[in-house]
Structure 1
Amino acid sequence: MDLFAFPPLALLLDLATRALLALTSLLEPLTAGLAAAVAVVLVTLVVRVALIPVGVSQARAEQTRARLAPRLRALQERWRKNPERLQRETMQLYGDEGASPFAGCLPVLAQAPVVGLLYAVFLHPQVGGHVNTLLEHDVFGVPLGRSLVGALSAGTVDAATFAVFATLVVVIAGMAEITRRLLRPAVDPSAPAWTTGMLGILQFTTAGVALFVPLAAALYLTVTTAWTLGQRLLLRRRYPLPR
């Protein structure tokens, strides 16, 4: 079932497609054949600028979690035989400090609708009863609506497709590794031990997702990953973790 067949979502898809087409037309005199790809990059940057307050909130929350770590360990030691009381006391501590243990998820959750909409825009050959001409645009010969996994399944993959997607995946994975090495998150003693390793794995999942989504969405993921790394490096200086 196509969720974008429902009238409200169909309207949203149509508006998003029209907006991208208008931006692409505006950029064509400057960027020629890369106009649609540049439009996607600009949309990504606009979204990330709008989410700067969320990033600041995330940095503050991470600093708070690091500062509260000794008190969280004390709570865990005191109430380890009473999980319900431990959870209640932990949430009370976070509440008293005006922080949330889930603040780190906000940037990802906030961007999910945008990535989903981009995915849909470059997945539909027709939008609003008209041919989706965005699918005619490409990056170095690779259509913006093509995914690497989809091309492999259809037997239409070529060297250019491999090269473009491989470049994006390497860039995303490289930035994930830099993030893992330089920006280790504050450890929450109240969280299960396995979550530390899971967080390390999740940093690389974006690279895997990029293989399955249309090239336009993969471009979004690459740019937003680069932005996230740069923003977190700057905010870590502004909100350093206690040693």
Structure 2
Amino acid sequence: MFGFLDVPVAGAYHLIHTLTGPLSTALAIVLFTLGVRLLLHPLARSAARGERSRAALLPEIRALQAEHGRDRERLAAEMTKLQQESGTSLFVGCLPMLLQLPFFMVMYRLFTTPTVGGEPNSLLGATLFGTPLGAHGLAGSPLVFVIAAGLAVVAWFSVRWQDRHRDATAEVPGGKLLRLLPYGTVLATLVVPQAAGIYLLTTTAWTAAERALLRRGS
């Protein structure tokens, strides 16, 4: 299962091993995550431009909702037409998050598989504060609580930022749910390896800082 991940997992394994020469494994994971986010930064800039485009469409979106609010199919068709005519997408901001999924899957697999490339996975023995990075959920206590607390703080700031800079995300179906997604990462720490939790904490903190800086520069 997930055999298609064997090659990227092996690549990540050797990369982290290279980084752990002068660094700890946890810090190597942080650097790996920052490298991924730096690679995706151009898409984040595109998403920020999309947010500004969605904000410009808000009056038209609200007019469509007032006119077709009871006819969900007609509303969806009119919203699609509006996107096509304006040359923007109401969901463009989700692209950086979706493109991170393969990297998260690699990190998850890297700290759950006993062997990599036919050899014992030595990363499973790596620890942080005495906790194995391959430990899942509450088995990673107290590290899991440290990561969960960090994610909760980042989620709180992210939601407050969204409340201060409301855009068309709140106007589309599921928009309110999208606003609460940052808190889903806190729940994820209960089931993923601690290494994956470190990845989540690093990437969500990057997202919060990146969005604030891009909005300031707009």
**TM-score where L is the length of structure 2:** 0.90
The answer on whether the counterparts of 1:183 and 1:233 sit within 8 Å (CA) in structure 2 is no
Residue matched to 2:18: 22
Q: 1:99 is matched with which residue: 65, 81, 88?
A: 88
Task: Spell out structure 1 runs of 4+ moving beyond 6 A.
Answer: none
Cα separation, 1, equivalents of 2:187 and 2:108:
15
Residue-by-residue CA offset, 1:15-59 (whole Å, 9 max, x unaligned): 22222222222x2xxx3xxx2111111110001111111111221
Measure how far apart 1:229 and its partner are.
Answer: 0.7
Gap change, CA 1:84 and 1:197, over 3 Å in 2: closer
Distance 2:143 2:170 in 1: 41
Q: Write out aligned runs for 1:6-17 (5 A).
A: 6=3, 8-17=4-13
Distance in structure 2 (CA, Å) of the matches to 1:120 and 1:98: 38
Matches within 5 A, 1:3-82: 3=2, 6=3, 8-25=4-21, 27=22, 31=23, 35-80=24-69, 82=71
Query: What is the distance in 2 between the residues matched to 1:82 and 1:11?
Result: 48
- Contact kept, 8 Å, 2:69 with 2:75, in 1: the verdict is yes
Q: 1:82 to 1:196 in 2, by over 3 A?
A: closer
Deviates more, 1:73-82 or 1:126-135: 73-82
Tell me if the contact between 2:135 and 2:193 (Cα under 8 Å) persists in the aligned partners. yes
Alpha-carbon offset, residue 171 of structure 1: 1.0
Matched, 1:147 2:128: no
Q: Percent identity?
A: 37
Distance 1:189 1:89, change over 3 A: farther
Query: CA separation of 1:110/1:43 partners in 2, compared to 1, >3 Å: closer, same or farther?
Result: same
Show the counterpart of 2:204. 225
Aligned residue identity for 1:125: P
Q: What do residues 214-235 of structure 1 show as CA deviations (whole Å, max 9, x unaligned)?
A: 1111111111111111111111
Q: 1:189 to 1:70 in 2, by over 3 A?
A: farther
The TM-score, its normalising length taken from structure 1, stands at 0.81
Find the partner of 1:186 among 167, 171, 174.
167
Could you tell me which runs of 5 or more consecutive residues in structure 2 were left unpaired when the two chains were aligned.
none
User: What root-mean-square deviation, in Å, do the aligned CA atoms of Structure 1 and Structure 2 show?
Assistant: 1.9
Q: Is residue 112–residue 134 contact of structure 2 (8 Å, CA) maintained in 1? A: yes
Q: Tell me the distance in 2 between the aligned counterparts of 1:218 and 1:189.
A: 28
Larger-Rg structure: 1
| Residue 130 of structure 1 pairs with residue 119 of structure 2 | yes
Match of 1:155 in 2: none
Give aligned pairs, total: 216
Match of 1:166 in 2: 145
Q: Give yes or no for contact 1:41–1:223 (8 Å, CA) kept in 2.
A: yes
Q: Distance in 1 between matches of 2:170 and 2:131?
A: 46
